[in-house]
Structure 1
Amino acid sequence: MSSDNVKTLTATFDTREAADLAIEHLVQQYGIDRSDVFVEAKGSENTAGTKPSGGDVENREGDGVRTDAALDGQLQVSVDLSLDDIDKAQAAFREAGARDVTSR
């Protein structure tokens, strides 16, 4: 992507499930190239978010919430995209429950 026409949009998510949903929308619904999308822990700790979701919800025995999930902070998703794609990427982030959507 030409750097003259590129912005980086960043958002934080409370769960890995929400971050994955945002990525899925960006790629499948809005046609953003997956190689332009990045996900990482917002802080320095390994994390799957701030609360259980998806596979972190129930243990294998089905009798309660797992206690081994790394719930050590929010996840950050960023995407490098053309200026023409800013609105649809913001929509994908918000639809998935993003917090603190920013661009630079």
Structure 2
Amino acid sequence: MGTTLTATFETRREAEMTVERLVQEHGVERTDVFIAADGDENSAGKEQAGSDGDADQPGPEPRGDAPLHGSVSVSVDIEDDAKAAKVREAFTEFQADDVSEV
């Protein structure tokens, strides 16, 4: 029987880095990973990070329009106990909050 592991992240960058680690290095199927705002409003997290922040010169103008309305949630459906351990490790590596398992 499978399990779903869920965690929240302060920034979209942390959530995206977690997903990339799981898919590229640990063989988790991308179709088993879900990213969403942790609330009713669209959100890039609680803080700007990565491409949501200021751009370095030369480059595009700095951005200030990232929707910062709360955490970003990542859920992973997993069948394999070994991969579930890798999911937990990735959550920890990228500073996940509120990790839960169903």
**TM-score under structure 2 length normalisation:** 0.89
| Alignment of structure 1 residues 50-69 onto 2, 5 Å | 50-59=46-55, 60-62=60-62, 66-69=63-66
1:83, distance to aligned residue in structure 2 (A) = 4.1
Q: Which amino acid aligns with 1:86?
A: A
Q: Distance in 2 between matches of 1:83 and 1:33?
A: 12
Task: Give CA deviations for 1:59-92 in whole Å, capped at 9, x if unaligned.
Answer: 5335xxx321100000000000014121111001
Q: Distance in 2 between matches of 1:61 and 1:86?
A: 41
Runs of 4+ in 1 over 6 A off after TM superposition: none
Q: Which amino acid aligns with 1:96?
A: F
| Alignment of structure 1 residues 1-104 onto 2, 5 Å | 5-59=1-55, 60-62=60-62, 66-84=63-81, 85-104=83-102
Q: Distance in 2 between matches of 1:83 and 1:43?
A: 29
Q: Which amino acid aligns with 1:36?
A: D
Q: State the Cα RMSD in Å.
A: 1.2
1:33, distance to aligned residue in structure 2 (A) = 0.4
Task: Give CA deviations for 1:13-38 in whole Å, capped at 9, x if unaligned.
Answer: 01000000000111111110000000
**Equivalenced residues, count:** 97
Q: Which amino acid aligns with 1:68?
A: D
Give secondary structure in 1 for the equivalent of 2:67: coil
Alpha-carbon contact 2:54-2:64 (below 8 Å) kept: no
Give the unaligned 5+ runs of structure 1: none
**TM-score under structure 1 length normalisation:** 0.87
Give secondary structure in 1 for the equivalent of 2:17: helix
